[in-house]
Every structure is written in structure tokens, then in C-alpha cells.
């Protein structure tokens, strides 16, 4: 497929994990892609993905909690790639702590990156959609914890429930302009974040060795396996496509049937 030929796509957290899978899918479908992330390896990750796909991909250093930096990153992306038609708000963090040990700093970090960061990027993308007359697509990464909170992560769950509420509110505001806004809820996916989850939750919930807790949780997935970034990317690319023009304000699970609601 070549559904996004010539289009410019902006992906936060696109240097690794689910974000890299999303950036790769758009590149394979003909898009020019801006990968924006806070990590130092972002430019190298973009160059590697460009070499792998043959697509035009740029890397941008970005702290999504900084409104000025967000404006500058979108401006640079448009200067190099053209008007952005799709913006994927995927950058995220998680920390895990018992409630009595959960610090205000951890709370703020999760809400700032996972919720405020999504808002700031959506806000800037909307400005640019309107300026270019684009009926753009906004896709926001929530989580299975936007459906059900889990032990030792009330701050993370709150941040991801916030993404769903934000997406619904923006979808209603922008619907008459043809701009769609949807959220996705990945479940257990093979990523570095889930390696962290397996290790830290495993230590806190019992004497689990590497991979043991994740394997136990995977047993509860009706499909019997964890997902891949490519499978999440397939949903995102659909929501960004013309085929999804009449879908907005929705929150869609991609988790092998783990949560059915």
C-alpha cells in the first residue's frame, strides 16, 4: 500500500518501541516522517530507519512538556517535509511505586509527559492543520490502563485516562472541520517499556525472574501472546487513512482481547 505518498507525518516517541513501529509503517506507506523524542539517539534512530525503509525521515530533539520546544519542532518538521497531515502523540513514560512511596515528582513526570505532552502536540498540530487547510488526523497513545488502573501505577493510569478524555473533547470540537481525533490502548507489547514493567512489577509482586511475570500475564490474553509494535502501527495507519474519515472520538484497544470494553 502507498496510502500516505507525499504526506508528512509527525510521531513523538518515534525512536523506539511502539513509536518506531508507527514511524516505520508510515514510511513504508510512502510518508515523509518526523521522529521527535527526548532521547539523545533520536537523530541516529531516524537515520537508521531512513536507511531501512528508503523513506525521507528526520529526527528532532523534543521535550513534549515544553510548549516552545513543541512549536519549534513542528515548525522545523514542516519546513523540511511540508505541511503535516498526521500527528501521532506517542511519547510516554511510566514509573512504578507503592502509593506510600509515590513521589510528587513521579506524579508530575507521568502527567506532564503522558497527558500535558499529548495536549501540547495536539494543540500545535491543530494550529498547523488549520493554517494549511488540512483535514488532519490526530492519534493519541493511551494504554490498557486507560481502561483499568493497575496496582502501583495510579499516576500512570490517571495520565492515560486523561488522554482518552482529551481525545474525546478535541474530537467533538474539531469534527465539523474534518479533523479526526482518536486514541489507542495498547496492551502487553514487546517493547523496552514492557521489559521495565516485567522487571520492576516482578520485583514488587514477588520473586519473579526476568520474563516470568510477563509470561504469566500473557497467559491471560485470549490470543495467548504479547503484541508487536507493528500490530499497533497497523491500527494507527488505518486511523490516519482516508478509510477512517468517519471515525473520531474513539478509543480502540489493541491487546489480543485482554480488555474487551
Looking at the domain assignment, is residue 51 inside a domain? yes
What pLDDT is recorded for position 261?
A: 83
Looking at the domain assignment, is residue 135 inside a domain? yes
pLDDT in tens, 81-100: 999 999 999 999 999 999 99
Looking at the domain assignment, is residue 97 inside a domain? yes
Confidence of residue 146 (pLDDT cuts 50, 70, 90): very high
Q: Helix crossing, 117-132 with 67-81: angle to 10°?
A: 40
Please confirm, yes or no, whether 156 is among the known catalytic residues: yes
147-165 in b/e form (b: 16+ CB < 10 A) is beeeebbbbbbbbbbbbbe
Give the CATH number of the domain where residue 98 resides: 3.40.50.720
What pLDDT is recorded for position 186?
A: 98
Indicate the SS3 state at residue 252.
Answer: strand
Looking at the domain assignment, is residue 116 inside a domain? yes
Looking at the domain assignment, is residue 202 inside a domain? no
Are the CB atoms for 233 and 17 separated by under 8 Å?
no
Range of the domain at 74: 8-187+227-253
The residues with which 254 forms a beta bridge, in sequence order, are 186
Looking at the domain assignment, is residue 258 inside a domain? no
Looking at the domain assignment, is residue 139 inside a domain? yes
Confidence of residue 3 (pLDDT cuts 50, 70, 90): very high
Neighbours of 38 (CB within 10 A): 19
**Residue of 74, 152, 156, 196 with catalytic role:** 156
Structural domain tally of the chain?
1
Looking at the domain assignment, is residue 235 inside a domain? yes
How far is 12 from 89, CA to CA, in rounded Å? 5
How far is 126 from 166, CA to CA, in rounded Å? 14
3-state DSSP: the chain helix, strand, coil percent, rounded to 5?
50, 15, 35
pLDDT in tens, 49-58: 999 999 999 9
Which whole-number Å values give the CA distances from 63 to 29, 92, 124, in the listed order? 27, 11, 14
Amino acid at each position: 500500500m502507498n496510502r500516505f505518498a507525499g504526506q508528512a507525518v509527525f510521531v513523538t516517541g518515534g525512536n523506539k518501541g511502539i513509536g518506531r513501529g508507527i514511524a516505520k509503517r508510515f514510511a513504508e506507506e510512502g510518508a515523509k516522517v518526523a521522529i521527535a523524542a527526548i532521547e539523545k539517539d533520536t537523530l541516529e534512530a531516524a537515520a537508521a530507519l531512513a536507511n531501512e525503509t528508503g523513506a525521507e525521515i528526520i529526527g528532532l530533539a523534543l521535550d513534549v512538556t515544553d510548549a516552545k520546544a513543541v512549536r519549534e519542532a513542528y515548525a522545523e518538521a514542516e519546513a523540511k517535509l511540508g505541511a503535516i497531515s498526521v500527528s501521532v502523540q506517542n511519547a510516554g513514560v511510566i514509573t512504578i511505586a507503592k502509593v506510600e512511596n509515590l513521589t510528587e515528582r513521579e506524579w508530575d513526570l507521568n502527567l506532564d509527559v503522558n497527558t500535558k505532552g499529548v495536549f501540547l502536540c495536539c494543540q500545535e498540530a491543530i494550529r498547523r492543520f488549520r493554517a494549511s487547510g488540512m483535514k488532519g488526523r490526530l492519534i493519541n497513545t493511551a494504554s490498557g490502563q486507560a481502561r483499568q488502573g493497575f496496582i502501583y501505577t495510579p499516576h500512570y493510569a490517571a495520565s492515560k485516562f486523561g488522554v482518552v478524555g482529551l481525545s474525546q473533547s478535541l474530537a467533538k470540537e474539531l469534527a465539523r472541520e474534518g479533523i479526526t481525533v482518536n486514541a489507542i490502548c495498547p496492551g502487553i507489547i514487546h517493547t523496552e517499556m514492557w521489559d521495565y514493567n516485567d522487571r520492576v512489577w516482578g520485583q514488587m509482586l514477588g520473586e519473579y525472574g526476568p520474563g516470568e511475570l510477563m509470561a504469566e500475564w500473557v497467559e491471560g490474553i485470549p490470543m495467548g501472546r504479547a503484541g508487536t509494535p507493528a500490530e499497533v502501527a497497523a491500527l494507527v495507519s488505518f486511523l490516519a487513512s482516508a478509510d477512517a474519515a468517519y471515525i473520531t472520538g474513539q478509543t480502540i484497544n489493541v491487546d489480543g482481547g485482554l480488555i474487551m470494553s
